[in-house]
Structure 1
């Protein structure tokens, strides 16, 4: 049975997008291996990370995005991203932050996104 498809609306530079009136945090597919996400760009206490991580912890949902990685000299991960689309909304669990980055497990694929 096909999952329902919904539309996400984001803004350039925002780490969030809106689906059905709900503003959700967006994560890059690039940092996902299997069902495990680890973004090494996480820096404790540096904006916008605290607000972003708090939203993931409270909502326990994320939007996984399609992105074009671009090399960046100054960033912790060495990459920045240009969003080119949205894949799906997932529920998440086991949310952790440490020196390795922002980590969590993707649990259920709640719905697919158009574009």
Structure 2
């Protein structure tokens, strides 16, 4: 059995990015992953378009473990899970979507 590398992610406060092994990568919430796909609604603004451009450019994302009190509240990151390679990232009809390809790095606190 091949073991994945393990690293530490350091969030960049006030942004949707974290640094892993010296590289700034876009972050996404674990709660929007289902059946190997990511689907985030309400993503049709400049901040999401920048995130999309960086997801396409790097082909990778940092998955954050997230919670929220109820649907009216934003997600709050409470830790990091893994770095994933992704494909087919796009925003369509206000929805950010992509496929998870491979879990590359496990992240520790």
TM-score w.r.t. length of structure 1: 0.86
Shift of 1:72: 5.8
Shift of 1:41: 2.4
CA contact (8 A) 1:70 1:82 kept: no
Specify the alignment match of 1:109 in structure 2.
103
CA contact (8 A) 2:52 2:90 kept: no
Specify the alignment match of 1:62 in structure 2.
61
TM-score w.r.t. length of structure 2: 0.90
CA contact (8 A) 1:15 1:26 kept: yes
1:5-84 equivalent positions in 2, closer than 5 A: 5-43=6-44, 46-71=45-70, 73=72, 79-84=73-78
SS at match of 1:12: coil
Moved over 4 A (4+): none
Deviation sequence 1:48-87 (CA, Å, 0-9, x none): 12211110010010001101124364xxxxx411110000
Unaligned ranges ≥5, structure 2: none
